[in-house]
Structure 1
Amino acid sequence: MPSHLLPVASPSVPAQGGSSRERTADEEPQAVRFAGLKLVHAALRRDLARLPNALRLIQPGEDEKGAALLRHWNFVTTMLTCHHEQQDTRIWPIVSRFAPELRLLLNWLEADHHNLDHSFTRVTTLVRIASRDAGSVWPVAYAIEDLAARLETHLRIEERQLLPRMERVFTENSRVGSLSELLDVLHVAGGPGTADALAWLLDGVEPATVERLVADCDDEVARHWPHWQATYQRCTAPLWGTPESWDVAGD
């Protein structure tokens, strides 16, 4: 993977629904540890679950929808490669230094990142074809579902075998694996801008958690966030409907 390129519930992944209890006025909101990693994992699961169905619904002549799905797929793929660079170049070396017993696992994860990147590149070619040919959407949708299952195995290994150890390696206020670090990686890599990345990462996250994460960003982000969120929802709604329609579908 070129260096400049750096899209079962996860442990402590920001909730995708209502909170289990309300926070009292005297309680301080808790920071989300390794928020950059956990938000990417949740967003990847979310979109890889709904992209195949959105693809299957494309009808002949819906070229604009096909093009929009291809753009979103390319965005997801770019976010994935940037996520991998955040891990391979910024996080894994530190973990390897302070927890040398994890080096074999880290080496396997890095190698699997390369394999996943190649798999996503191959599926991108298929999605490009399906976006222009409604007759091919079903097999391509199955290919995305197979890839999602392959990625799920990787994510579970990180979450179950690595994140608990990382909590003992890094202090609670460490920037390693944070949302702000991920946004820095995207900026350096020339990846998606803060507005698009943040709206994608926080799509469907519990409002209280969103408020906390946005508050941890700089003043410009906090000021523009409502506009970024509304723009993202307006642009993606044609792909899979509005949040209200998802609630109805899930009932």
Structure 2
Amino acid sequence: MPSYLLPVASPPAVPAQSGSERERAAGEEPQAVRFAGLRLVHAALRRDLTRLPNSLRLLQPGEDDKGEALLRHWTFVTAMLTCHHEQQDTRIWPIVRRFAPELRLLLNWLEADHHNLDHSFTRVTTLVRIASRDAGSAWPVAYAMEDLAARLETHLRIEERQLLPRMERVVAAGSRLGSLPELLDLLRSADGPGTADALAWLLDGVEPAVVEQLLADCDDDVVRNWPHWQATYQRCTAPLWGPADGWGVARE
């Protein structure tokens, strides 16, 4: 049996950040969010595609270090998007096609749009590389980022509103499919972003109680190293936009 179909012992409860305090005040147990790995990626993409253009517009002539940091982070976000698409196209969509064949046309469109988005991100990377060295071109490149973010938002909403509800009915509760541990397994085996940077990026700004719930589903090595990974990530990204904002897991 493929490892991503093996159930987890206790799937994490990941409430939407905006409602978690209300749930605790009411004495209710937080509701589990299915496919937390997918939702974390969606939330992180939205977060960074909002603040990256703004940070690029603030780039001043002579700020070469900041320009290089922006380029590195944009390249990282692009790599994470590529891994996310790989996870969906090679691990998740085949399972959904098998158990929900009526979704095959939607899945075919999503897979084709993955390729289109990957190419678009690669093209914008070329523009970001230029803007990172020439602050005078930052504004038009920031607009290009925002146009791409709008395209991606349409894609994410289709997945969240048309696909995930159906997946909740056909994928067994407790499955690793679309989970955070499955995503980390893929990153370990792929020639892409490291687990430390990826996890810190995914959990950037997520409230501590939710982070604890998510880490409880990860292996001991991840839990042991998490404080160091988080501190390193925040130290490297703080010059771009300051301390982490209060962003949470996207939930529709």
Q: 5 Å matches for 1:166-245? A: 166-243=167-244
Once structures 1 and 2 are overlaid, which stretch shifts more, 185-194 or 166-175? 185-194
In structure 2, what is the equivalent of residue 122 of structure 1?
123
- Match of residue 87 from structure 1: 88
Query: Counterparts of 1:227 and 1:22 in 2: how far apart (Å)?
Result: 30
CA RMSD of aligned residues (A): 2.2
Residue 142 (structure 2) aligns with? 141
Relative to structure 1, is the Cα distance of residues 14 and 125 closer, same or farther in structure 2, using a 3 angstrom cutoff? farther
Query: What is the aligned partner in structure 1 of residue 5 from structure 2?
Result: none
Quick check: 1:58–1:65 contact (8 Å CA) kept in 2?
A: yes
Seen in structure 2, the aligned counterparts of structure 1 residues 17 and 69 have a Cα distance that, compared at 3 Å, is farther
The structural deviation recorded for 1:21 is: 2.3
SS in 2 for 1:93: helix
Amino acid at match of 2:209: A
Query: Residue in 1 aligned with 2:8?
Result: none
Give, in angstroms, the shift of residue 132 of structure 1.
0.4
Q: TM-score scaled to structure 2, two decimals?
A: 0.88
- Counterpart for residue 48 of structure 1: 49
Q: Which residue of 2 aligns with 1:3?
A: none
1:191 Cα deviation (Å)? Answer: 1.5
Q: CA deviation at 1:32?
A: 3.2
> Match of 1:175, SS?
coil
Tell me the secondary structure at the aligned position of residue 58 of structure 1: coil
Structure 1: runs of 5+ lacking an equivalent: 1-11, 247-251
Give the C-alpha shift of residue 31 in structure 1.
Answer: 4.1
Which has the higher mean CA deviation after the structures are superposed, 166-175 or 185-194? 185-194
Residues 43 and 244 of structure 1: is their aligned pair in 2 closer, same or farther, counting only changes over 3 Å? closer
Counterpart Cα distance in 1 of 2:152 and 2:200: 22
Distance apart, 1:205 and its partner CA: 1.1
Instruction: Give, as a single letter, the amino acid of the residue that structure 2 aligns with 1:229.
Output: Q
Instruction: Quote the Cα distance in structure 2 between the aligned partners of 1:207 and 1:118.
Output: 35
Runs of 4+ in 1 over 6 A off after TM superposition: none
Match of 1:162 in 2: 163
- Partner SS for 1:70: helix
Measure the CA separation in 2 of the matches of 1:32 and 1:223: 24
Report % sequence identity. 85
> Structure 2 counterpart of 1:65, which letter?
K
Q: 1:68 to 1:118 in 2, by over 3 A?
A: same
Shift of 1:226: 1.3
CA deviations on 1:141-200 (whole Å, 9 max, x unpaired) are: 000000000000000000000000000011110010011111111111121111111000
**Structure 2 counterparts to residues 20-99 of structure 1, below 5 A:** 20-21=21-22, 23=24, 30-99=31-100
**Per-residue deviation, 1:20:** 3.3
User: CA offsets, 1:115-154, max 9 Å, x none?
Assistant: 0000000000000000000000000000000000000000
- Preserved contact between residue 13 and residue 38 of structure 1 (Cα < 8 Å): no
> Aligned residue for 1:9?
none
Q: Distance in 2 between matches of 1:209 and 1:87?
A: 24
User: TM (normalized to structure 1)?
Assistant: 0.88
3-state secondary structure, aligned to 2:24: coil
2:152 & 2:53 partners in 1: Cα distance?
A: 15
C-alpha contact 2:15 2:32 (8 A) present in aligned 1: no
Q: SS at the partner of 2:239? A: helix
After superposing the two structures, state which structure 1 stretch, 125-134 or 185-194, moved more. 185-194
The amino acid of 1:225's aligned partner reads W
Change (3 A) 1:64 1:14: farther
What is the alpha-carbon distance in structure 1 between the residues aligned to residue 176 and residue 221 of structure 2?
19
Q: How many residues align?
A: 235
